Chain A
Amino acid sequence: MKTPARNSIIISLTMLAILFASAIAARMYYVNNAAPPHQIISYKLNDYVSLREIDETSDIQIASKEYALFTIDEYQHRFGKIDESVLSQNQTCDTKILVLKMSALNKGPQENQTNLCLYSMQQDAWVNGVDLLLYMPLNKAKNANITLQPNEERTVLLPYNMYDFQFGFNDNWIHINENPFELVLKTYPNKVFIALGLPEPTSSFSSETISVEAL
């Protein structure tokens, strides 16, 4: 008879489909579990973060103190004139410069070197690294590395550029001051970041950098 044969075909196909789906699900489970567990470790503004989270040999602790968003004019008024070659890049579009005050403290017994320009600034889908062309004159440094003696703490200013064309037709540029930023220290296997919150007004941003000598 036709009907029982057709029923058996349908049942067989259904069982095959279920088996196949189970095999796929099991494989996906295995693949996802084989990857190391992903933790999200966050710190707040002014928290001292040990760089051992990133580099096990490091004795340095870093802390984000404050940050603000400046227009080109505000930046030049506060921090001094920007070099013509750097400025011409920034003048073709609407630009903001995020300046983050960050301090590094050497908790180890020996002299230590670190590079605070390695960390990315992030807001939602936007991310950028430090603009080294602005960093050098801003901190009167010749390179991005800072050397710290035992128990020495030094503060630097990290400039990050933001351009309106980076946001295309999205209205994130208009609401740039209304969304929090985060400083990402590490992404894998755990995400380590400092939640910076909303930027403070440029008028209350203190641009003094402190260097506390070793005792």
Chain B
Amino acid sequence: MKRSIAFEIKRAFLNWTFCAALNVGLLLAIGHVVMVAAPYALSESWNLWRSGAGGTYPPSLYSAWMGVTSYSFLTITFYFLLPLLACIPYADSLCTDLSTHYSNQLICRMGRIRYFASKLIATSISSISVIVIPLIVNYIATACFIPALWPEPAAQIFPASPSNMLASLFYHAPQTYTIVFIMLAALYSAAFGALSIASSFSIHNRFIVMLTPFALCITAQFVLQGSAFEGFSPINALSPYQPYPSIYSVVVAIGILLLLIPNFITLIKGRYFEDV
């Protein structure tokens, strides 16, 4: 099993689509540091704010990293593209393997369950990497420019309002809040990758397979728009700045279900897979 996982992980990471997706994420992350964090830290026009003049609270790491700047074009683009970026590296690999019958070669050598299980694991790891690495790079890079001033609700510059999930955690343990949301993004990225893999059995177009989670997220966003449950749409729920209220346990449960169901379907279908 270890060898098959290693083989799939090598295929997942040593390909140009992974590099391209990661580069897009890193471009957004580093661009955000250049456009938002660096001006806050270095620009003359923000000098007065940095000194806390007039009782205003200076920019803090917890109000300036990519996940919380809801007014930044780069943040919006990153979270909007998240379902697509997560699937670009390796989520269409099963579709490609099935259409080229390369899966037969691999199944002969490693067995059905091993093949599909290692495919799922490699896809999840590559999807998580493409999303989590840019977030961490942006967080660390922002921390190199802006001090980690403790968040204060009265300062009115921090994104967590009392209607947000884990708002209390944000003001008591902001690093933990950041880690929780990065892990939530990782969970959903893995789920999106798994969803693409599971859809490869019925959809034979690579592009459509890659786009399936994105299409579902957009549909959820459209259907829930304007309703009380708007915060549960994946694109809204994953954003640490949380534009709409939601419930943490429900968001996590949806993520786990989105991860488990496609995995389960893939393994069941894979167990009885025959390509004659």
A–B contact via C-beta, under 8 angstroms:
yes
Residues of A within 8 A of B (CB): 24, 27-28, 31-32, 34-36, 38, 54, 120, 122, 124-127, 165-170, 172, 184, 186-189, 191
Q: Which A residue's beta carbon lies closest to that of B58?
A: A188
Determine the distance from Cα of A68 to Cα of B41 in the docked complex, in whole angstroms: 42
Q: Is the CB of B150 within 8 A of A168?
A: no
Closest Cβ of chain A: how far from B8's Cβ, in Å? 24
Determine the distance from Cα of A207 to Cα of B152 in the docked complex, in whole angstroms: 31
Q: Which 9 A-B pairs have the closest CB atoms?
A: A168-B245, A168-B163, A125-B167, A127-B153, A35-B147, A184-B154, A126-B162, A188-B52, A125-B162
Q: Is the CB of A124 within 8 A of B161?
A: no
Determine the distance from Cα of A166 to Cα of B153 in the docked complex, in whole angstroms: 13
Q: Is the CB of A188 within 8 A of B164?
A: no
Determine the distance from Cα of A188 to Cα of B55 in the docked complex, in whole angstroms: 6
Q: Is the CB of A187 within 8 A of B162?
A: no
Restricting to B143-197, which residues have a CB under 8 Å from any CB of A?
Answer: 143-150, 152-156, 160-165, 167-168, 170-171
Chain A residues with Cβ below 8 Å from B164 are 125, 168
Chain A residues with Cβ below 8 Å from B245 are 168-170
Chain A residues with Cβ below 8 Å from B162 are 124-126, 166-168, 170, 172
Given contacts A124-B162, A124-B168, contact A34 B153 (CB under 8 A): no
Chain A residues with Cβ below 8 Å from B143 are 28, 31
Determine the distance from Cα of A96 to Cα of B150 in the docked complex, in whole angstroms: 29
Determine the distance from Cα of A27 to Cα of B146 in the docked complex, in whole angstroms: 10
Chain A residues with Cβ below 8 Å from B155 are 187-188
Chain A residues with Cβ below 8 Å from B144 are 24, 27-28, 31
Determine the distance from Cα of A187 to Cα of B54 in the docked complex, in whole angstroms: 11
Determine the distance from Cα of A167 to Cα of B55 in the docked complex, in whole angstroms: 27
Residue of A54, A168, A172 with highest tally of chain B CB at under 10 A: A168
Q: Is the CB of B152 within 8 A of A189?
A: no
Q: Which B residue's beta carbon lies closest to that of A36?
A: B52
Chain B residues with Cβ below 8 Å from A169 are 163, 165, 245-247
Which of A38, A125, A187 meets B171, CB within 8 Å?
A125
Q: Is the CB of B55 within 8 A of A186?
A: yes
Q: Is the CB of A125 within 8 A of B148?
A: no
